Amino acid sequence: MAAISRDEVAHLARLSRLAVTEDELDRFAGQLDVILQAVARVGEAGAGDDIPPTSHSVPLTNVFRDDVVQPSLAQADVLAGAPDAAEGRFRVPRILDEEA
């Protein structure tokens, strides 16, 4: 793979709106070249045909607990502590206008 040039680094810096000095252009060109070479090496490795595509390196499973029916408060007991109730529900101030 060809090394990334100073001009390409300067172009990337302009696109990113980064102020980069002349010394930084040389340093970043070398660093970006090392990164690009490492990415190319990873790409060359590739998975064999016997390895299925995966999204995680280890299998993941969701852990759910069983639903258990438990007694709850009666509606009247719940609404007894409400500042305002109507038709068996909490009554709250309107915050949105009705849309036609």
Integer angstrom CA distances of residue 61 from 51, 54, 56, 65, 92 = 20, 14, 11, 13, 41
Q: Residue 76: what pLDDT? A: 92
Tell me the two tokens of residue 15: 């696109």
Whether the model clears a pTM of 0.75, i.e. scores above it, the answer is no
Report the mean per-residue pLDDT for the chain: 86
In a domain, 88, yes or no: no
Tell me the two tokens of residue 78: 């719940």
In a domain, 32, yes or no: yes
Overall domain count for the chain: 1
Q: Residue 97: what pLDDT? A: 74
Q: Residue 58: what pLDDT? A: 83
In a domain, 76, yes or no: no
**Residue 23 structural domain:** 6-45
CATH of the domain at 37: 1.10.20.60
